[in-house]
């Protein structure tokens, strides 16, 4: 028999942190990420079998729905055909979300799409790359066993030939140059201010994205400051017009290769954002082309186009260079 502990603060969670399921979990996330409730599924021997956090106060919007979000999910059952602990926990999670007036649960998502979310549902053969969500292959089934269904699909793609070019972009570059648009690498000596510049682009560029949630500038800057030491300025390209940023591409080396004892030969194209104006047509594709050529000149051999929503234009850009390597899925359960 399992019980569900309802936890609201890091101090309340402290008694469970010796469990292996919390080995890599920072209890301060409950506060930092504004969690409304954290659940721990505990067996008769006091062992935590599964965990998750719930959000209902500040969540993404979906038309005609009040969403509840389930994230910070983990279970100690990585390979079984069934996971009773997950079923018990999700049952309680959905009950609590319904009590808060939610019409639908969505997950796994750590509150919003600026943080970790999605399950890997088709891992392919490539090893995990830096900052990629990972999970044992059985975890998505535990959710579908309880009645969750896919609501959105994402993919990452890999190009192993950085010499590839999109011949159409020569005319695009000429047109943009005539409009006074130029390009420069990120200024690492003014990193925090550079983040503020690209934040202003991000909030406008992403505002129409699926399940978009506004993020304040402080949290955006804090999130990116964590990877400052990994940033290679020449791989983060900023497009400007009249000295004002209008687009950027943020890329970083895949340090997971180094952790595996391999040479770093892969660059991860993590974010491409352009202000939504017709005069900027083709700018995102040109940024990808330029950064891939710069990566090649620096000795990189591969590029990963990371974590693209199936309906985004980034999938079309990626299709000119890369082949799908991994699929991810976001799941939902309606209470109606």
Instruction: Judge contact between 235 and 182, C-beta under 8 A.
Output: no
CA-angle at 211, arms to 34 and 241, nearest 5°: 100
Identical fold, 3-117 and 159-327: yes
Nearest-angstrom CA–CA distance, 53 and 83: 18
The answer on pLDDT for 230 being more than 90 is: yes
Q: Which residues pair with 185 in a beta bridge?
A: 237
Write down the pLDDT at residue 166: 87
Q: Does domain 3-117 bear CATH number 3.60.130.10?
A: no
Nearest-angstrom CA–CA distance, 25 and 27: 6
The answer on pLDDT for 237 being more than 90 is: yes
Write down the pLDDT at residue 313: 64
Write down the pLDDT at residue 314: 66
Residue 335 tokens read as: 């209470």
The answer on pLDDT for 130 being more than 90 is: yes
Between 147 and 276, the more confident residue is 147
- Domain ranges across the chain: 3-117, 159-327
Reported as a pLDDT band with limits 50, 70 and 90, residue 210 is very high
Gyration radius (Cα) of the chain, Å: 21
> What's the whole-number mean pLDDT along residues 129-153?
96
Write down the pLDDT at residue 196: 97
CATH superfamily of 159-327: Gcn5-related N-acetyltransferase (GNAT) (3.40.630.30)
Q: What are phi and psi of 15, to 5 degrees?
A: -65, -15
């Amino acid at each position: 028999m399992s019980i569900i502990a309802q936890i609201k603060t890091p101090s309340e969670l402290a008694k469970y942190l010796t469990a292996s399921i919390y080995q890599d979990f920072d209890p301060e996330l409950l506060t930092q990420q504004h969690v409304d409730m954290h659940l721990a599924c505990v067996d008769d021997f006091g062992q935590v079998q599964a965990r998750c956090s719930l959000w209902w106060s500040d969540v993404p919007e979906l038309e005609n729905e009040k969403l509840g979000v389930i994230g910070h999910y983990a279970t100690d059952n990585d390979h079984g055909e069934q996971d009773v602990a997950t079923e018990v926990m999700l049952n309680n999670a959905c009950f609590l979300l319904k009590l808060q007036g939610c019409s639908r649960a969505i997950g796994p998502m750590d509150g919003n799409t600026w943080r970790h979310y999605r399950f890997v549902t088709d891992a392919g053969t490539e090893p995990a790359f830096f900052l990629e969500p990972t999970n044992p292959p059985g975890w998505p089934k535990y959710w579908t066993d309880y009645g969750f269904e896919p609501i959105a699909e994402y993919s990452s793609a890999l190009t192993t030939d950085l010499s590839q070019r999109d011949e159409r972009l020569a005319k695009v570059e000429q047109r943009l140059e005539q409009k006074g648009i130029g390009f420069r690498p990120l200024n690492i000596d003014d990193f925090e201010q550079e983040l503020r510049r690209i934040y202003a682009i991000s909030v406008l560029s992403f505002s129409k994205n699926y399940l978009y949630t506004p993020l304040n500038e402080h949290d955006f800057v804090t999130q990116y400051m964590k990877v400052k030491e990994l940033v290679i300025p020449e791989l983060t390209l900023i497009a400007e017009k009249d000295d004002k940023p209008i687009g950027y591409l943020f890329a970083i080396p895949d340090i997971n290769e180094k952790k595996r004892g391999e040479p770093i030969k892969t660059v991860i194209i993590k974010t491409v954002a352009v202000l939504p104006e017709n005069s900027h047509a083709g700018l995102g594709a040109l940024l990808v082309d330029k950064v891939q050529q710069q990566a090649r000149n620096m000795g990189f051999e591969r590029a990963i186009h990371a974590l693209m929503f199936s309906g985004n234009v980034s999938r079309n850009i990626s299709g000119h260079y890369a082949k799908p390597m991994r699929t991810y899925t976001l799941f939902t359960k309606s209470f109606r």
